Amino acid sequence: MHVEEKLTAETFPASPEKATLEGKNKFLGFWLFLGGETVLFASLFATYLALRDKTAGGPSAEELFKMPLVFVATMLLLTSSLTSVYAIYHMKNFDFKKMQLWFGITVLLGAGFLGLEIFEFNEYVREGHVFTKSAFASSFYTLVGTHGAHVAFGLLWILTLMIRNAKRGLDLYNAPKFYVASLYWHFIDVVWVFIFTVVYLMGMVG
Amino acid sequence: MSTLARKKGVGAVIWDYLTTVDHKKIAILYLIAGGFFFLIGGLEALFIRIQLAKPNNDFLVGGLYNQVLTMHGTTMIFLAAMPLVFAMMNAVVPIQIGARDVAFPFLNALGFWLFFFGGVFLNLSWFLGGAPDAGWTSYASLSLESPGHGIDFYVLGLQISGFGTLMGGINFLVTIINMRAPGMTYMRMPMFTWATFVTSALILFAFPPLTVGLIFMMMDRLFGGNFYNPAGGGNTIIWEHLFWIFGHPEVYILVLPAFGIFSEIFATFSKKRLFGYSSMVFATVLIGFLGFMVWAHHMFTVGMGPIANAIFAVATMAIAVPTGIKIFNWLFTMWGGNIRFTTPMLYAVAFIPSFVMGGVTGVMNAAAAADYQYHDSYFVVAHFHYVIVGGVVFALLAGAHYWWPKMFGKMLNETLGKITFWLFFIGFHLTFFIQHFLGLMGMPRRVFTYLPGQGLETGNLISTVGAFFMAAATIVLLVNVVITTAKGQKAEADAWGDGRTLEWAVASPPPEYNFAQTPLVRGLDALWIEKMEGKKGLTPAEPLGDIHMPNPSILPFIISLGLFIAAFGFMYHNEYSWGLFVGIGGLLITLGSMFLRSVIDDHGFHIHKEEVLEAEKGVKA
Amino acid sequence: MANQTNTGNPNVDLAYRRKKNAEEMKHQVISFILMIALTLVAFFAVGYDEFSHWFSVPFILLLAVVQVAFQLYYFMHMSHKGHELPALFLYGGVLVAFLTVWAFMTVVWW
Amino acid sequence: MKKWLLNWRLFSLFSVIALLLAGCGKPFLSTLQPAGEVADMQYSLMLLSTAIMVLVIIVVTIIFVYVVIRFRQRKGEEKKIPKQVEGSHKLEIIWTVIPILLLIILAVPTVSATFKLADVKPMNKEKRDKNIVVVNVRANLYWWEFEYPDYGIITSQDLVVPTNERVYFNLKASDVKHSFWIPAVGGKMDTNVENKNQFWLEFDQKATDEAGGIFYGKCAELCGPSHALMDFKVKPLPREEFDQWVEKMKNAKPVVTDSVAKEGEAIFNKSCIGCHAVSPVDNRPEQARTAPNLANFGDRTRIAGVLEHNEENLKKWLKDPDSVKPGNKMTGTYGNLTDEQINALTKYLMSLKVE
């Protein structure tokens, strides 16, 4: 099957992300990358856990965190994970328009999350919780900020894919790209689940 | 589009190498760059030994000595050993598994250029105010105190080249998992391929902690972070843990491919299949696995307490078991064989006693209570040089001689090769054996001098003499390379006549598509099986047809260049107002190139059947 | 090709596949609802002062693990065929991750 | 082939000769001549592990030499194809199980020694026995401070301890990480920046006598340009003499009689006293104690830890500290001194004695 071949719903394979060798490589390579990312975030988490009480006179986690904000952000990101599942669902059904639509919603939700995070950081900075204040601040901003950077990169990536492929529809060349981008998006969500648990919730109970 | 047998100008050749995505050419790039850094690192080693030749010497004093010592370690590990290992992997692994290329040719090129620019960046420190001076381990308290930009070069340079290595690791994993020829099951893969597989997995999990550690150090030094700064609540031990969570697996990242290279050489020149192949595979995987459980044995004297020390001591000792299995398997591969002492085989044979020495001192170091004496003394210096030189460097030299005909199409001169070997072998033991005793006699590591009357003079002098032997060996090797390139003997496909694995079935050097027809693998040592059945070539698994090839691209070079520029910008952003702009500009170059890569479709091209036929005829004739 | 063609009639196959996909989508929506519920429980457990933190910390960690399992197995299809190696390497990463966190919680204590 | 053997023989001969020439190092420095309970324990662990490892090496070497000689290719055998052996479960089990047993033999004493060496319960502050000597070691860029908290005295560069009993140490660093190591007496422990490490050592009287009354101590962690020069000296004394020394230290005050030395004292009090104390009883907090205590300077055996103890060297050190210890913190803290001033200072410093 040639990668650029025009396909129909009937000829479109059940697992388009793995239908070509390039797709298979991408799929596997990306999963392996996520394995490495797991260790990367683990190192950030571990450091945060080791340093979270070292506030050096600055505000502590309990005084600082805005839980309602975090709750809304969490809901946005969790929902965006579901919407990207919908996008892939429509990709597998060879429904390009609906896929684009759901990816579009995902991007909006992700942008909302990112906006909240920037707002949140801004609030914290105003309360004196700046990056250079303490080991707690440094490790907090680096951990949550690295996740935020991942969200931002994910948004740009999905947007690029959507715009680039808007006119040409689905084929076996771009299907793996969409699939992999959605894997990335889920992984971001996985990391966030641990961030809101370990950083925010555990920050509230000590 | 085929580049076969076409005469080109110098400019075209350079452009070809700047844009290549062919794993064989990337292997050559790794070999040249790694070899160049190996010479620099070796020169630094020589300077160290000259300074220590006699007590109170004043050849390299204080801070400058520390810079040379730091750069020697950093260069040898990150810029010489690793890329040379990657050179071997790139040159051999895809062919060994019967593939036309790696899974991600573009990433492969990107990996090389990232490593290269990272290495160049690091070495530019010599000309821009001084090199890093806190040792290759760059422990946080000292590296935060270190004035100037030396440590910033270390932090940024290693981050850039570390990304390259991580990409290489993922690339080889996917290649080995997805691209094997029909019939090449996991348990039929050559040992070197297995070693590459496990090594790549280690890279995948070991480099992220290093990246994180380096990011923290960058934040602390350049952006006012407090990760390692006790005044702000930070903790220097975090760096030590992150560094060694990476650093210990790194040892295996280097030594497992070495084991793989020797496994190939032992089998080839004993004319026997590898003894206990499945236990060799098992041992490799087990070493890789245990490699992640033992990092804290580098930190026995930090004050982790007896419980942690005891746990890590016992875990470390456990690694000796699979390593021992390997040693005996190699011995019994030779047992009953018909051993030919070619240059690569000499290295392989010499490796056994040398590496066993390094291994047993490793177990001695694992005994935590006794390690309080060895730690940070010359005993440790001796130990890890026995492992890394006696294991890794021997393997790289052996592999270079062994696969040189495959990579370049010409046989290295055997007489010169053997002279290199003997000089290097004698020099190596002369230099490092005595260092065990220097350490036990109370000489700490990383000292730029020692006082007379402490019983350390003789040992140090002997050690320095040995270093010159190794330098002489390197010069002979270079001469050999030049002579061979000028008028070497042309190599056949099965250059040594005893080849067992697939790389010896294709022409030397291989055509850019490796295999005209993907081979069918019918067992371990696929070529050997065919040869024993009296066949000339491999059994093809597909009819002859058009071959799909990836397009060359300059983007990997530009992406890496962008990060190189960005690193300069961020490093100087505290002193010069242009710093931040340059930093962001560099990042934009990188991101822009990545964007281009993403939006421009790249479907590669095809080499047509007729062209392949033509090329194959040329080889046979 | 991984087309799972069973009948040879593409239209029948398509209908079958669509049905299967839709069914799977239903599972995913259910797991999403559960995830939201788990999140609510976690926030509640922390907000509710009666729980001591010896209970709530392990409890919310457990909730997080369950939620991540939903993500991995439903949203990222890790139970599907062809995910053996991804799973192997992801769990390899998780093992190293666990070791790292464990070490930082126990050996870095001052 | 003969060349190969010859080289091996030459090489081993050479290394043996080298070893004989070097001996086992000097008794005041070498770990191979243990001078106390800790070093003894570590030395026996070294011997045990070396013995096991030599055994391994011998077995490997025997097989190795046999294989390499017996199975080398002979003339006319170039075409011979040996039997392709797959492996042998029996052999593989043997060389898996035997190493495991050997390692268990090594692991048990290792773990036990590790716990013994970490036993610092007796130094517990509340329940501490009066007779136990505790020393706070503070490592600084290129000098060491030894504080005896129970006696309220401080010395620098020279550690004085009682022999034949366990002495307990609190270890820390005030700038970058260092490592406290007295090779002949016992293994090292790091001095960290952010915490206090604790361990104990024991100094054997007999071994002290054999070593000439002094052991050499080293910094074992790269700490900057003068890492190699960050030495200190250990003077173990019998308990009675140690007690006497403590008494002397408690009451020590600089006594200056010589007129040149008096001049020196004046200069010292103007330029040096801000960092250096001249009384062993220094009540300033440790952050203020930024330079070595010089109370017993005249009794020391080395200038700046490395130079021989004479006036000439002291002058050299005062004139240009950086030429002796690159990167030290004293350089540039006082203005240029004339030769006369240096002479005066030297006289004064050399007169600072406790014993």
Q: Three-state DSSP class for A94?
A: coil
Q: Which residues of B touch C92 (CB under 8 A)?
A: 201, 204-205
Q: Does D195 touch chain B (CB under 8 A)?
A: yes
Question: Residue B71 carries which side chain, given as an amino acid letter?
Answer: M
pLDDT of residue D17: 58
pLDDT number for residue D171:
96
The answer to whether the CB atoms of C39 and A75 lie below 8 A apart is: yes
* C-alpha span between D171 and D182 (Å, rounded): 13
List Cβ neighbours of D343 (8 Å cut-off, separation of 6 or more). D260, D264, D315
The band of B257, judged by pLDDT with boundaries at 50, 70 and 90, is very high
- Average pLDDT over every residue of B530-541: 89
Band (B402; pLDDT cuts 50, 70, 90): very high
Residue D330: per-residue pLDDT: 92
Cβ distance B173 to A51 less than 8 Å, yes or no, reads: no
Contact list, B325 vs chain D (CB under 8 Å) = 92, 95-96
Which pLDDT value is given to residue B316? 95
Alpha carbons within 13 A on the beta-carbon side of A186: 30
| pLDDT tens column, A119-176 | 999 999 998 899 999 999 999 999 999 999 999 999 999 999 999 999 888 888 889 9
Q: Which of B408, B340, B359 is nearest to B255 (CA)?
A: B359
B198 min Cα distance to partner chain A (Å) = 13
Q: Are A32 and B178 within 8 A, CB to CB?
A: no
Q: Is C15 exposed, middle or buried (0-12, 13-18, 19+ CB in 10 A)?
A: exposed
Q: What is the number of CB-based contacts under 8 A between chain B and chain C? A: 37
Give the domain extent around A161.
Answer: 19-52+59-205
For chain D, the structural domain boundaries read 259-350
Nearest to A56 among B216, B232, B242 (CB): B232
Burial of residue B429, with CB atoms counted within 10 A of its CB: 0-12 exposed, 13-18 middle, 19 or more buried: buried
Using the predicted structure, report yes or no on whether residue A106 has a pLDDT greater than 90.
yes
Nearest CB partner across the interface for C108, out of B209, B241, B293 = B241
Peptide bond between residue D149 and the one before it cis (omega within 30 degrees of 0) = no
State the smallest CA–CA distance between residue B208 and chain A in angstroms.
5
Tokens of D67: 């294989």
Residue in chain D nearest B335 by alpha carbon: D67
- ipTM exceeding 0.90, yes/no: yes
Q: Which of D 205-234 lie inside 8 A of B, CB atoms?
A: 216, 218-229, 231
Q: With contacts defined as CB-CB under 8 Å, which chain B residues touch A35?
A: 204-205
Average of pLDDT values for D160-183? 95
> Touching check for D100 and chain B: CB below 8 Å?
yes
Closest to B71 (Cα-Cα) out of B54, B52, B47: B47
Spatial distance between the Cα atoms of B429 and B389, rounded to a whole number of angstroms: 10
Q: For A82-93, what is each residue's pLDDT tens digit?
A: 999 999 999 988
CATH number at residue A201: 1.20.120.80
Pairing of strands D186-191, D158-162: unpaired
**Confidence grade of residue B619 (pLDDT, cut at 50, 70, 90):** low
φ, ψ of residue D75 to 5 degrees: the values are -55, 135
Element (H, E) at D156: strand D153-156
For residue C32, list chain A residues with Cβ-Cβ distance below 8 A: 78-79, 81-82, 85
Question: Which of B235, B245, B292 is facing C108, going by the closest CB pair?
Answer: B235
Q: Which chains touch B (3 or more CB pairs under 8 A)?
A: A, C, D
What's the mean pLDDT in D120-137?
A: 87
Nearest chain A residue to B103 by CA distance is A25
In angstroms, the separation between the Cα of residue A32 and the nearest Cα of chain B is 7
Residue A206 has pLDDT above 70, yes or no: no
Closest residue of chain D to B147, computed from CA coordinates? D224
User: Is A32 in Cβ contact with B235 (below 8 Å)?
Assistant: no
Angle between helices B150-178 and B191-222 (to 10 degrees): 150
- CA–CA separation, D318 vs B559, rounded Å? 54
Burial of residue B22, with CB atoms counted within 10 A of its CB: 0-12 exposed, 13-18 middle, 19 or more buried: buried
Q: Does D177 lie at the interface with B, CB-CB under 8 angstroms?
A: yes
**DSSP labels, D231-287:** -EEEEEE-HHHHHHHHHHHHH------SHHHHHHHHHHHHHTTTT--SSS---S-TT
* Chain B: closest CA distance from residue A51 (Å): 7
Q: How far does B214 lie from chain C, in Å, by closest CA?
A: 16
Nearest to A32 among B174, B219, B229 (CB): B174
Q: Can you list the positions of beta strands (E) in B302-422?
A: 410-411
Q: What values do phi and psi take at B426, rounded to 5?
A: -65, -45
Say if D121 is an interface residue toward chain B (CB within 8 Å): no
Contact predicate D69/B341, CB 8 Å: no
Domain segments of chain C: what residues? Answer: 1-79, 81-110
Tokens of B191: 């040992």
End-to-end CA distance of chain A: 57
Taking CB atoms and an 8 Å cutoff, what residues of chain C touch B238? Answer: 104, 108
Q: What's residue B168's pLDDT?
A: 95
Domains of chain A: total: 1
Higher local confidence (pLDDT), B71 or C29 = B71
Q: Which residues pair with D232 in a beta bridge?
A: D217
pLDDT (mean) for D319-338 = 90
Residue A3: its pLDDT value, please?
67
pLDDT-derived band of residue D34, with 50, 70 and 90 as boundaries?
very high
Q: Is C40 on the interface with B (CB under 8 A)?
A: no
At B4, is the pLDDT very low, low, confident or very high (cuts 50, 70, 90)?
very low
Instruction: Please give the pLDDT value at position D2.
Output: 53
Q: Which of B276, B302, B349 sits opposite D92 (nearest CB)?
A: B276
Q: Work out the number of other CB atoms within 10 angstroms of the CB of residue C81.
A: 9
Q: A65 to chain C: which residues are within 8 Å by CB?
A: none
Judge: D57–B357 Cβ closer than 8 Å, yes or no: yes
Alpha-carbon gap: A84 to the closest alpha carbon of chain C (Å): 9
| Average pLDDT of span D3-25 | 61
d(CA D145, CA D138): 5
pLDDT over 70 (residue B224): yes
Contact A56 B226 (CB under 8 A): yes
Give me Rg for the CA atoms of chain A.
20
D71, B269 Cβ separation under 8 angstroms: no
Q: Do residue B223 and residue A35 have CB atoms under 8 angstroms apart?
A: no
Q: State the pLDDT confidence band at C53, using cuts at 50, 70 and 90.
A: confident
Residue B226 with chain A: CB contacts under 8 Å: 54, 56, 132-135, 137-138
3-state secondary structure of B275: coil
CA distance D87 to B330: 11
Contacts of B235 in chain A (CB under 8 A): 50-51, 54, 135
Q: Is residue A110 part of a domain?
A: yes
Whole-angstrom distance, CA of residue B38 vs CA of residue A68: 57
CATH for D259-350, among 1.10.10.1590, 2.40.50.140, 2.60.40.420, 3.10.200.10? 2.60.40.420
Q: Which residue of A has its CA nearest to B203?
A: A36
pLDDT at B5: 45
- Cα B562 from Cα B73, distance rounded (Å): 27
Q: What is the largest distance, in Å, between two alpha-carbon atoms of chain C?
A: 69
* Confidence category of residue B616, pLDDT binned at 50, 70, 90: confident
**Contacts for B196 with CB less than 8 Å, ≥ 6 apart:** B89, B93, B172, B176, B257, B260
**Closest C-alpha to C72, from A37, A189, A113:** A189
CA angle (C28 as vertex; C23, C30 as ends), nearest 5: 100
For A71, the closest of C29, C43, C96 (CB atoms) is C43
| Chain C residues touching residue A143 (CB < 8 angstroms) | none
- Return the bridge partners of B607, or none: B547
- Residue D330, both tokens: 């004293």
Query: Which residues have CB under 8 Å from B52's CB, separation 6+?
Result: B448, B449, B450, B460, B463, B464
The pLDDT assigned to B6 comes to 54
Angle formed at CA D208 by CA D207 and CA D213, multiple of 5 degrees: 150
Joined together, the tokens standing for residue D179 give 């490592």
Please count the residues of chain C. Answer: 110
Task: State the pLDDT at residue D18.
Answer: 55
pLDDT band, residue B2 (cuts 50/70/90):
very low
Distance CA A96, CA A81 (A): 19
Tell me whether residues C57 and A42 touch, CB distance under 8 A: no
| pLDDT score of A14 more than 90 | no
pLDDT at B3 over 50: no
Task: Report the Cα A188 to chain-centroid distance in Å.
Answer: 3
For residue B617, count other CB atoms closer than 10 A to its CB: 9
Checking if the pLDDT of B615 tops 60, the result is yes
Chain D residues in contact with B142 (beta carbon < 8 A): 176-177, 222-224
Say if D46 is an interface residue toward chain B (CB within 8 Å).
yes
CB contact under 8 A, B141 and D61: no
Phi-psi category of D36—alpha, beta or left, where left has phi over 0 and alpha has psi -120 to 50?
left
**How do residues D200-216 score in pLDDT, each as one tens digit?**
999 999 999 999 999 99
Residue B300 to chain D, least CA–CA distance (Å): 9
Cα nearest neighbour of B309 on chain C: C107
The mean pLDDT of B508-530, rounded to a whole number, is 93
CA–CA separation, D66 vs D68, rounded Å? 6
pLDDT at C1: 37
DSSP letter for B520, please.
Answer: P
Give the chain A residue whose CA is nearest to the CA of B602: A173
CA distance A178 to C28: 19
Q: How far is CA B124 from the centre of its chain?
A: 21
Of A23-37, B144-158, B286-300, D78-92, minimum mean pLDDT range: D78-92
Partners of residue D111 in chain B, C-beta under 8 Å: 310, 313-314
Q: In DSSP terms, which residues pair with D200 in a beta bridge? A: D168
Lowest mean pLDDT among B270-284, B328-342, D255-269: D255-269
Check if the beta carbon of residue A24 is closer than 8 Å to that of residue B206: no
Band (B621; pLDDT cuts 50, 70, 90): very low
What would the pLDDT profile of B15-72 be if each residue is shown by its tens digit? 999 999 999 999 999 999 999 999 999 999 999 999 999 999 999 988 999 999 999 9
- Coil vs helix vs strand at B592: helix
Taking an 8 Å cut-off on Cβ atoms, the answer to whether B308 and C96 are in contact is no
Residue D6, pLDDT > 70, answer no
Average pLDDT over residues B334-350: 95
CB B413 within 8 A of CB B476: no
* Domains, chain B, with CATH or none: 10-553+602-620 (1.20.210.10)
Number of other residues whose CB lies within 10 A of the CB of residue D304: 24
pLDDT at A9 over 70: yes
pLDDT (average), residues B134-142: 94
Distance CA D243, CA D161 (A): 10
Which pLDDT score is estimated for D336? 86
